[in-house]
Amino acid sequence: MNATLDLDRAMHTAKEAAQAAAEASLRYWKTGLQIERKADNSPVTQGDKAAEAAILDVIRRDFPEHSILAEESGRDDKDSPYRWIIDPIDGTRGFTRGGQFWGALVGLEGPGGILAGAMALPALGDLYWAARGLGCFHNGERVQINQDPGSIAEATLSLGELSYLLRAPWQAPVLELIQEAELARCYGDLKGPALLLSGMADAWLEAGVQPWDLGPIPILIEEAGGVCTAFSGQATIHDQTALAAPKALHALLLARLQNQA
């Protein structure tokens, strides 16, 4: 069991793994891929499998003692406080249709939450990475999310999967927020938090997601100056929801979601 961790090394491993996934999946993009259906009827392709294999190669080379939870190949449990959370292609549906908003999510979970991670949007040439206390970066430039807009009325919201966000118990507060906000955008998948990280939105709301759909997002947002929790307010990727924003706006949105305001 390895209780100490070099965060800088973990961040660079996450970055290299996301880059390797990007290269692997791009080889299959727009190639008329065959789509298989998983047990839950969601799609998977050779692109997803090749990208996951590329990520696993990098992580097992650098941290063979760590556990893994990967969307396509499942769990590999070790006696370790650290676990890599992997989605080789978040946005497989868009990937199969030649869209641009898809890519790899690689996060390292440890004591106290997500410690390091990376996110790649290969079709856009975007790569984000971060680690606790070391900052968040986009293609080599330090990332800082927007200043707090001060009110919901002045905020642009980035919304994720509407079929979950517009379902009880979130439907009423989410509809209210959409109407009150300055703008509400709905790009979905990993492009949702990317809008916040790139300054094109002030907050991101997502629901109906698995841990691997969120892996590195909390550490990217936190290191860019924001707050990222579940709709419960807990800092976890295991609650199927995510709310990210600058601190004051996050508190306003959380209160609405919890029907406290």
> Footprint of ligand IPD on this chain (CB under 6 A)?
42, 71, 87, 90-92, 160-161, 188-189, 208-209, 213
155, 203 contact by CB (below 8 A): yes
Nearer to ligand IPD, 5 or 203 (CB): 203
Nearer to ligand IPD, 209 or 220 (CB): 209
Nearer to ligand IPD, 96 or 252 (CB): 96
Residue 91 interface partner, choices ligand IPD, Ca ion, none, CB cut-off 5-8 Å depending on type = ligand IPD
Residue 189 interface partner, choices Ca ion, ligand IPD, none, CB cut-off 5-8 Å depending on type = ligand IPD
Residue 160 interface partner, choices Ca ion, ligand IPD, none, CB cut-off 5-8 Å depending on type = ligand IPD
| Nearest distance, CB of residue 217 and Ca ion, angstroms | 14
| Nearest distance, CB of residue 42 and Ca ion, angstroms | 8
Residue 216 interface partner, choices Ca ion, ligand IPD, none, CB cut-off 5-8 Å depending on type = none
| Nearest distance, CB of residue 91 and ligand IPD, angstroms | 5
Residues 6+ apart with CB under 8 A from 102: 25, 89, 90, 91, 92, 94, 95, 121, 122, 123, 189, 190
Q: Which residues bind Ca ion (CB under 5 A)?
A: 71, 87, 89
Task: Name the residue with the smallest CB distance to Ca ion.
Answer: 87
| Nearest distance, CB of residue 103 and Ca ion, angstroms | 10
- CA–CA distance, 245 with 146 (Å, rounded to integer): 9
| Nearest distance, CB of residue 22 and ligand IPD, angstroms | 15
Residue 156 interface partner, choices ligand IPD, Ca ion, none, CB cut-off 5-8 Å depending on type = none
Please name which of 133, 159, 126 lies closest in space to residue 245, comparing C-alpha atoms.
159
- CA–CA distance, 2 with 166 (Å, rounded to integer): 43
